[in-house]
Structure formats: structure tokens, C-alpha cells
């Protein structure tokens, strides 16, 4: 299991990677911004009973957040890939987006055979 500091460091890292402000994450987890700030400043212990709420808001598993996931690098790789896909897809025009979706559907169909 991760230490309190490691959990907080991971939350801050994930929050910043996702471009979430302190205020926006506080909204997502239904917590006062000041409380979240105290966690990030190590002024308060991370509430383990809220780990599932934080994990869900940050798009990771509770096990990963707490350090119980034996395959953490796989989770991080998948997260990074999803972020890349969203970034790339967002930059495309409508015709290119349709082409990418058609291509992905074709690949999925071939995999399921």
C-alpha cells in the first residue's frame, strides 16, 4: 500500500495530467476546495474511505490509487493511451474523425473473428 504522501502525490500528478484545477477536482468529488488543498499540502491525512471517489474522478482504479494493483504500469499505460487518443481525435476535423471511427470499427470487427 502507498503511504499517505505517495497517494497525495499520485492524486496531484493525475489531476495535473488531466488538466483539472483544484476547484474542478473538488467539484467532481463533492468536497470543499479548502479540504482538498489541505490534503495536497499534506496538512491532513488522505481519507481512505474516500479513495473510491477520488479514483473514479481521476479515471483510475481504487487499487491503483492505493498501491494494491500489481499491474500499475499497465494501468498508467492505458491511461496515457486514452489521453493520447482523446488529444489526437480532438484535433481532427469531422471527416477525419469519421474515417478514424470507421477504421477502428474495422479493426475491432477483424479482432472478433
Mean pLDDT, the chain, integer: 90
Tens-digit pLDDT profile for residues 50-103:
999 999 999 998 988 998 865 655 667 777 788 888 889 999 999 999 999 999
Domain boundaries, the chain: 1-69, 71-113
**Which pLDDT score is estimated for 53?**
96
Percent of all residues in the chain with a pLDDT value above 90, rounded to a whole number: 68
- Please, are residues 30 and 12 in contact by the beta-carbon 8 Å criterion? no
Q: Which residues contact 103 (CB under 8 A, 6 or more apart)?
A: none
Percent of all residues in the chain with a pLDDT value above 70, rounded to a whole number: 93
**Which pLDDT score is estimated for 92?**
94
The C-alpha cell that represents 3 in the structure block:
503511504
Report the alpha-carbon distance of residue 113 to residue 109 in Å, rounded.
Answer: 7
- CATH superfamily for domain 1-69: lambda repressor-like DNA-binding domains (1.10.260.40)
* SS3 at position 72: helix
Amino acid at each position: 500500500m502507498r503511504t499517505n504522501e505517495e497517494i497525495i502525490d499520485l492524486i496531484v500528478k493525475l489531476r495535473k495530467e488531466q488538466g483539472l484545477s483544484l476547484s474542478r477536482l473538488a467539484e467532481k468529488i463533492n468536497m470543499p476546495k479548502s479540504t482538498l488543498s489541505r490534503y495536497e499540502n499534506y496538512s491532513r491525512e488522505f481519507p481512505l474511505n474516500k479513495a473510491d471517489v477520488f479514483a473514479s474522478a481521476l479515471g483510475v482504479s481504487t487499487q491503483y490509487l492505493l498501491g494494491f494493483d500489481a499491474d500499475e504500469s499497465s494501468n498508467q499505460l492505458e491511461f496515457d493511451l486514452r489521453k493520447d487518443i482523446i488529444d489526437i481525435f480532438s484535433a481532427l476535423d469531422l471527416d477525419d474523425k469519421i474515417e478514424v471511427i470507421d477504421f477502428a470499427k474495422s479493426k475491432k470487427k477483424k479482432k472478433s473473428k
